[in-house]
Chains A and B, each alone.
Chain A
């Protein structure tokens, strides 16, 4: 089921589109980035000076990597979710689920294979782009940015956590459309909860309301915080000097909330009649 779902996910038009765009960017970087022979310290982009590696201060390459990182995350959330959020509901379609459930698999195995297969469709594309960018900067510019490479792991982890929400939404709604829509709503909720102290708290000055928001924050994967931290592994943006330092805590909290959501999904799926 896992293999089949990965194959199905990779055939989704939006993910193919992401793959094509990622490939074009990688090709442009491959063609564009170079070291002038007479100036090994200089990195150029299509012949124009981009950065001098020995120069202290603002690191243009790091800035560029952060932008590529953010751009990729934005597009993979948009295109990836449109592509794979419907994979859980499509498994539950009448005539399809009967076949799956008649096979010697537990419902937990079936659901987890489907969910992990779907998220793998996104992860493969992410790894392709991130590792590709890292290799190009390393091989062509001599910048082996390990922070950028390690950010891939955090992004992948964030998507696995995020997909626990997509999974339970897909199971309950049994609708691809709702599943995609609610996945996007969750990304907004995640952002809203992350900045709740300066935003949602102010809507209503009530302790119960504040604790309710806190509970929701800790019960759901902290997508926004995880993606934010994955960027901080690469470096800090010069125009956000007071940006917080990298912390593992959102990843730790999200581990528990993700386990809880996957557990609830399995429990719910196991009780359903089809």
Chain B
């Protein structure tokens, strides 16, 4: 089931109140996000990632196009009851304590007063801020504010969680904790929409990603689809290959990269791999492992960006 669906969603910002020339932020973005998946939106600075989330939450108004969230068209008040949002560079009233911040945002979500305190404490414990409940947020570090922001986004038990750079300023242990928390939320059925620059993290937790560049979607797919670009296999051998086997492999006309006790074989067709295996086995060389070669999401992202920007 699709929980977010956009069709040709477009946003142009006006450069100023008195000028008519527009700055395109998003151009005909059509995306769909399935229930219970972690969806990553990637892109360089100014690609339109934040604008996309703000459009979904009606923080900015679309220039054209349409979208539905949980079946509701954009702008419906009820839609926001099911959403949690952690914006980038969020700010909290400095005079509130962590506990009161959560209670305040819980009230804005229309949650019953009787459950708020208990809920706030439970969430502060979840994000590791239990001992800071009575401390004013103005004393919090960037990482602590991120954790509090995450708790704030979870106060209404959202069905869809929008996170804009959630691990920004968080230390490596904290990042791991946040990743684990997100994976746990996923198992509970929460859909997570993640905007992040940290591609390694996206790769670790996202099911599907979309890459935005200059307001346009340039790629979408699962992590596996995007990082498994060419049909190439890394074959780990039990011993180095002899010259005789090397000659026989070269006769296959397949591009093969030779290393000490491994081969990287590029294929046109999967069946060609059997030929390579037969040659190796016939030559008495054992095969310890065989894996399809993958590029990292970061490599793929850079490759795409270079291609898009004509470099």
8 A/B residue pairs, CB under 8 Å, sorted by A: A7-B95, A95-B87, A96-B90, A99-B87, A99-B152, A102-B85, A102-B87, A104-B110
Given the interface pairs A99-B152, A102-B83, A104-B80, the reply to whether A94 lies near B57 with Cβ below 8 Å is: no
Contact B58 A99 (CB under 8 A): no
CB contact under 8 A between A273 and B61, given known A1-B108, A95-B91, A102-B85: yes
Q: Tell me the chain A residues, 78-113 only, with Cβ under 8 Å from chain B.
A: 93-106
Find out whether the CB atom of B80 lies under 8 angstroms from the CB atom of A98.
Answer: no
A105 and B108 contacting across the interface, CB-CB below 8 Å: yes
| Bound Cα distance A145, B81 (Å) | 51
A99, A105, A273: which contacts B77 (Cβ < 8 A)? Answer: A105
By the criterion CB–CB under 8 Å, are A104 and B105 in contact?
Answer: no
Compute the total of residue contacts between A and B using a CB distance below 8 Å.
Answer: 68
- Min C-beta distance of B265 to chain A, whole Å: 50
- On chain B, the number of residues with a Cβ less than 8 Å from chain A's Cβ atoms is 29
How big is chain A's contact interface, by range?
20 to 34
- Among A11, A94, A104, A271, the residue within 8 A (CB) of B89 is A94
Q: Please tell me which one of the listed residues B60, B85, B109 contacts residue A273 in the complex, with CB atoms under 8 A apart.
A: B60
**A209 adjacent to chain B (CB < 8 Å):** no
Question: A93, A94, A273 — which one has the most chain B CB atoms within 10 A of its CB?
Answer: A273
Asked whether A11 lies within 8 Å of B95 as measured between CB atoms, the reply is yes
A8, CB-defined interface residue at 8 Å:
yes
Residue of A with least CB distance to B60: A273
Interface residue from A7, A11, A100 paired with B108 (Cβ < 8 Å): A100
Q: What secondary structure prevails in chain A residues at the interface with B?
A: loop
* Cβ-based interface call for B59 (8 A): yes
Residues on the B chain within 8 Å of A105, using CB: 77, 108
With a cutoff of 8 Å between Cβ atoms, the chain A residues found around residue B57 in the complex are: 101-102
Q: Does A274 contact B (CB under 8 A)?
A: yes
Given A11-B95, A95-B89, A95-B91, are A102 and B60 neighbors across the interface (CB < 8 Å)? no
Residues of B within 8 A of A271 (CB): 61
Q: Are A99 and B109 interface neighbours, CB within 8 A?
A: no
| Complexed CA–CA distance, A270 and B78 (Å) | 17
B108:A103 contact, CB within 8 angstroms: yes
Q: Is the CB of B59 within 8 A of A273?
A: yes
Q: Mark B137-165, 1 if CB is under 8 A from A, else 0.
A: 00000000000000010000000001000
Q: Do A273 and B13 contact each other (CB < 8 Å), given the known contacts A100-B108, A104-B80, A105-B108? A: yes
CA–CA, A99 and B85, complex, Å? 7
Contacts of B80 in A (CB 8 A): 102-104
Extra 12 A-B pairs, beta carbons < 8 Å, given A98-B54, A102-B57, A103-B109 = A4-B104, A7-B95, A93-B91, A95-B90, A98-B85, A99-B90, A99-B105, A99-B152, A102-B162, A105-B108, A273-B13, A273-B61
Known A-B contacts A8-B93, A104-B80; A274 and B60 likewise in contact (beta carbons under 8 Å) = yes
Given known contacts A4-B104, A94-B89, A95-B87, A101 and B95 CB-to-CB distance under 8 angstroms: no
